[in-house]
Structure 1
Amino acid sequence: MDVIKVLVILLSVSLVEILGHNHQPKDQDAKNNWWQHEVFYQIYPRSFQDSNGDGIGDLQGITSRLQYFKDTGITAVWLSPIYESPMVDFGYDISNYTNIQPEYGTLEDFDVLIAKANELGIKVILDFVPNHSSNQHPWFLKSVAREPGYEDFYVWQNGSLLENGTRVPPNNWLSVFSGSAWEWNDERQQFYLRQFTFGQPDLNYRNPAVIQAMDDVMLFWLNKGIAGFRIDAVIYIYEDALLRDEPLSGTTDDPNVESYLNHIYTRNQPEDYLLLQHWRQLLDNYTASQGGPRRIMMTEGYATVAQLMEYYEDANGVQGPEFPFNFDFITEVNENSTAADFVFYIERWLIYMPHGHVANWVMGNHDNPRVASRFGVKSVDAMNMLLMTLPGIAITYNGEELGMTDYRNISWEDTVDQPACEAGRDSYQTISRDPERTPMQWSDELNAGFSTSNHTWLPVNPNYKDLNLRNQQQARQSHYKVYQSLLKLRQLPVLKNGSFIPDVVNSRVFAFKRELKGEHTLLTLLNVKNRTEQVDLTDFIDQPNRLSVLVVGVDSHHRVGDRLKAESIELAPFEGLVIQLNKRK
Structure 2
Amino acid sequence: MQHYFSSLILILFSAMLTACGGSSAPINTEINLETSTENTLSAEEALPTEDTLSTDNTESTENTSDSHNSGLPQNWADSATFIEIYVRAYKDSDGDGIGDLQGLTQQLDYLQEIGITGIWLMPITESSDNDHGYAVTDYQNIESQYGTLEDFSTFLTEAHKRGIGVIMDYVINHASSSHPYFTASNNFDPTYRDWFIWEDSNLGWQGWAGDSWHQGTHGYYYGAFWFGMPDWNLKNQEVIEFHKNNLRFWLDLGVDGFRFDAVGNLIENGADRWYGEEANHQINNTMRTLLEEEYFNKYLVCEDPGHPSDAAQSNSCGSAFAFGLNTAIFESITNGSASEIAPYFSDFTLDKMALLLSNHDAFAGSRPFNQLNGNEPQLKLAASILMTLPGKPFIYYGEEVGMSAGNGLQADASLRVPMSWNSQGGFTTGSSFRTAAANKLEYNVRDEQHDSDSILSHYKNLMQMRINHPVMTSKNYGLVTAGDILHFYRYTGTTYAHIIINMTNSSQNYTINTMQSDLSITEIFPLQSSFIQTSNSNYLDINLLPFETKVIKYSLP
- TM-score normalised by L of structure 1: 0.75
Instruction: Give yes or no for the alignment of 1:372 onto 2:369.
Output: yes
> Aligned residue for 2:415?
436
Q: Is the 8 A contact 2:461 2:526 kept in 1?
A: no
TM-aligned CA deviation for residue 570 of structure 1: 3.7
* % same residue: 28
> Aligned residue for 1:269?
277
Distance 1:217 1:526, change over 3 A: same
Task: Show structure 1 runs of 5+ residues with no match.
Answer: 1-16, 25-29, 160-168, 247-264, 288-292, 314-318, 416-428, 554-558
> Aligned residue for 2:242?
213
Q: Is the 8 A contact 1:37 1:393 kept in 2?
A: yes
> Aligned residue for 1:173?
206
Distance 1:92 1:459, change over 3 A: same
> Aligned residue for 1:140?
182
TM-aligned CA deviation for residue 540 of structure 1: 7.7
Instruction: Give yes or no for the alignment of 1:457 onto 2:433.
Output: yes
- 1:181-228 superposed Cα distances (whole Å, 9 cap, x missing partner): 11112x22x111111122111111122221121112111111111011
Distance 1:311 1:122, change over 3 A: closer
> Aligned residue for 2:525?
551
Equivalent of residue 522 in structure 1, options 467, 483, 497 = 497
Q: Is the 8 A contact 2:501 2:548 kept in 1?
A: yes
TM-aligned CA deviation for residue 284 of structure 1: 2.1
Range moving further from structure 2, 131-140 or 267-276:
267-276
Distance 1:325 1:582, change over 3 A: closer
CA distance in structure 2 between the partners assigned to 1:498 and 1:283 by the alignment? 22
Q: Is the 8 A contact 2:330 2:382 kept in 1?
A: no
Instruction: Give yes or no for the alignment of 1:129 onto 2:166.
Output: no
Distance 1:441 1:561, change over 3 A: farther
Instruction: Give yes or no for the alignment of 1:235 onto 2:264.
Output: yes
Q: Is the 8 A contact 2:311 2:317 kept in 1?
A: no
One-letter identity of the residue aligned with 1:329: L
Equivalent of residue 150 in structure 1, options 177, 180, 192 = 192
TM-aligned CA deviation for residue 321 of structure 1: 2.2
TM-aligned CA deviation for residue 385 of structure 1: 1.7
> Aligned residue for 1:253?
none
> Aligned residue for 2:383?
384
Specify the SS of the correspondent of 1:503.
strand
Q: Is the 8 A contact 1:75 1:123 kept in 2?
A: yes
Q: Is the 8 A contact 2:502 2:544 kept in 1?
A: no
The number of residue pairs the alignment matches comes to: 476
Q: Is the 8 A contact 1:95 1:134 kept in 2?
A: yes
Distance 1:399 1:170, change over 3 A: same
> Aligned residue for 1:282?
290
TM-aligned CA deviation for residue 449 of structure 1: 1.0
TM-aligned CA deviation for residue 33 of structure 1: 1.9
CA distance in structure 2 between the partners assigned to 1:35 and 1:369 by the alignment? 26
Equivalent of residue 198 in structure 1, options 208, 223, 227 = 227
Range moving further from structure 2, 374-383 or 395-404:
374-383
Instruction: Give yes or no for the alignment of 1:473 onto 2:426.
Output: no
- 1:425-478 superposed Cα distances (whole Å, 9 cap, x missing partner): xxxx4xx1122211111112x4x111111x312211242122111111121322
Distance 1:505 1:302, change over 3 A: closer
TM-aligned CA deviation for residue 581 of structure 1: 5.0
CA distance in structure 2 between the partners assigned to 1:536 and 1:46 by the alignment? 46
Specify the SS of the correspondent of 1:68.
helix
CA distance in structure 2 between the partners assigned to 1:568 and 1:227 by the alignment? 41
Task: Show structure 2 runs of 5+ residues with no match.
Answer: 1-61, 67-71, 534-538
TM-aligned CA deviation for residue 51 of structure 1: 0.9
CA distance in structure 1 between the partners assigned to 2:460 and 2:370 by the alignment? 21
Instruction: Give yes or no for the alignment of 1:326 onto 2:322.
Output: yes
Q: Is the 8 A contact 2:205 2:211 kept in 1?
A: yes
CA distance in structure 2 between the partners assigned to 1:278 and 1:234 by the alignment? 13
> Aligned residue for 2:91?
49
Specify the SS of the correspondent of 1:230.
strand
Distance 1:401 1:98, change over 3 A: same
CA distance in structure 2 between the partners assigned to 1:563 and 1:544 by the alignment? 10
Q: Is the 8 A contact 2:312 2:353 kept in 1?
A: no
Equivalent of residue 537 in structure 1, options 504, 507, 511 = 511
Equivalent positions of 1:349-428 (< 5 A) are: 349-350=348-349, 358-367=352-361, 368-376=365-373, 377-378=375-376, 379-407=378-406, 409-410=407-408, 415=409
Distance 1:329 1:406, change over 3 A: farther
